[in-house]
Amino acid sequence: MPLTGEGGTVYRSQLEFPTVDVSFTYLDMIGKLAFQVNYPYSNPVYIMRNGDLETISDRIFGHWINAGLPENFTDKAISTCWFPYKGQINARITGSYKQNGYYYPSQYGNNMDISAATADNILQKVISYTGGSTTTTLGTEAVDLGDWFNYAWKFSVSGSNLKSFRETFNTAKISSTDTTLTSGYFAIGTRIARTSNPTDARCYDVMGLRAWYKAPSSAIVPSIAVIEFPATGSGTLEDPIRPSMVENLVEISQSQVTHEEWLAIQCNPKGPDGLPLVNSLAVTWGAIDYKNEPTMLCAIYEGSPSYLEPNRISKQADYVRSKGLTVESGPFNIDKTRNLHKKFRKNRKEMLITENELAYQLIGDESLEVSSIADFYEREVADLKRIDPSKIIDFDATINRWIVKAKQHGKDDDVTRLENIKKK
């Protein structure tokens, strides 16, 4: 039967409204995608959707110029390709508060900073409150990215797990766990820098339109160690809370790296001889349910440029051992992660992740994700009641997707637990 209205016209209201495996371009065409259209310190703040202006009372799109569905989700991924300037994929965005003339929402974010020395792929959390906000770095990839390239990127959030994919969507580059935010909006954020240089004009809005909403991705590279670092930082956007690691900034000449690596490090800080600086001791890491303690537990992952020191992880381990802090070496299995969970919870009473959630982050097996997801929803829907299923779009469809995965992996107990969640 043809989908036509009067006079053979196809109306947008008649078109399918998917929220998974759908492009932002399509959602914009059917009038569902929203764009923030004025700066966040003005009043009121508007979004444009379906060709009309709407006010947003809670300013959920905040300081970044966001494009996305202003609907609440729990688990989702966004994939896109972009230039490495001021772009960020935001997840579980919630209401914001005013600070220094700007409105900052609470959210998870995956962004890049090409001016950093070998820490350009970043996972962050911003928590807003009356009078301010606190920014915490939840993970970084030890990589240098340049402005000569257009990067494929995906940020996936499922349960308590945050994953960043870059270059390939097969396996995450970074994985962290956090239990602060449980639901919210998922959007692409852009931030246009003030500049008088016409060559700096980039097609920021186009970056949002070429994004896709996807189902969460599962594959995680196994962690090779867990290291407890002192926490540092004041919690501002410029000085986020983060692990204090040893650094070794060294200048790199073109003869020491490949042509692509040489192009990528041109945006790094420069040393006394004018050559780019890299941090030869940088490691890829993801936080383990950090709750503002004086130290931060970090899962350490492989996969870094060849010009870094091969023994950099052992040097980081020696550094924290000298301070009496924990170093746990992989590989990890179920029994080992169970014992680690007991050890960590003994000194970290606010840690909420379960044995299953820790095991998934450290071991990376997709079958473990199902159990971690069942734990997450039991805690957040049934126990803590921080998730109200009636306020989450496609909640049953989300749970059904996990039930299908649980059946695929033979997780009968998890199937039962997830079925019970749907009845809450």
Mean pLDDT of 157-168: 94
pLDDT at 11 over 80: no
Q: What's the confidence (pLDDT) of residue 149? A: 73
Does 2 map to a domain?
Answer: no
Structural domain count, the chain: 1
Mean pLDDT of 270-290: 97
Does 157 map to a domain?
Answer: yes
Q: What's the confidence (pLDDT) of residue 51? A: 65
Give the single-character DSSP code of 379. I
Instruction: Give the domain CATH number at 42.
Output: 2.60.120.560
> 15-70, pLDDT tens digit by residue?
678 889 999 989 988 888 887 655 544 555 556 666 666 665 544 444 455 788 88
Instruction: Report how far residue 363's alpha carbon sits from residue 160's, in angstroms, rounded to the nearest whole number.
Output: 15
Q: What's the confidence (pLDDT) of residue 116? A: 86
Instruction: Report how far residue 270's alpha carbon sits from residue 126's, in angstroms, rounded to the nearest whole number.
Output: 30
pLDDT at 334 over 50: yes
Selection from 96-105, 213-222, 340-349 with the highest mean pLDDT: 340-349
Distances (CA, A) of 51 to 72, 126, 209, 422: 22, 31, 15, 36
Domain, as residue range, for 105: 19-197+207-422
pLDDT at 195 over 80: no
Instruction: Report how far residue 158's alpha carbon sits from residue 71's, in angstroms, rounded to the nearest whole number.
Output: 16
Strand blocks (E) in 225-282: 225-232, 242-243, 249-251, 277-279
Does 220 map to a domain?
Answer: yes
Lowest mean pLDDT among 104-108, 177-181, 244-248, 297-301: 104-108
If pLDDT is split at 50, 70 and 90, which confidence band does 99 have? low
Q: What's the confidence (pLDDT) of residue 219? A: 84
Mean pLDDT rounded to a whole number for the chain: 86
Q: What's the confidence (pLDDT) of residue 367? A: 92
Instruction: Report how far residue 94's alpha carbon sits from residue 101's, in angstroms, rounded to the nearest whole number.
Output: 18
If pLDDT is split at 50, 70 and 90, which confidence band does 322 have? very high
Does 13 map to a domain?
Answer: no
pTM: 0.90
Distances (CA, A) of 94 to 9, 126, 240: 38, 10, 20
Does 107 map to a domain?
Answer: yes
- Of 34, 45, 65, the residue nearest 190 (C-alpha): 65
Q: What's the confidence (pLDDT) of residue 203? A: 43
Does 3 map to a domain?
Answer: no
Q: What's the confidence (pLDDT) of residue 134? A: 92
**Phi-psi group of 385: left, alpha or beta (phi > 0 → left; psi -120 to 50 → alpha; rest → beta):** left
If pLDDT is split at 50, 70 and 90, which confidence band does 193 have? very low
If pLDDT is split at 50, 70 and 90, which confidence band does 410 have? very high
Does 418 map to a domain?
Answer: yes
Does 7 map to a domain?
Answer: no
Q: What's the confidence (pLDDT) of residue 402? A: 97
Lowest mean pLDDT among 93-102, 140-149, 391-400: 93-102
Helix (H, G, I), strand (E, B) or coil at 4: coil
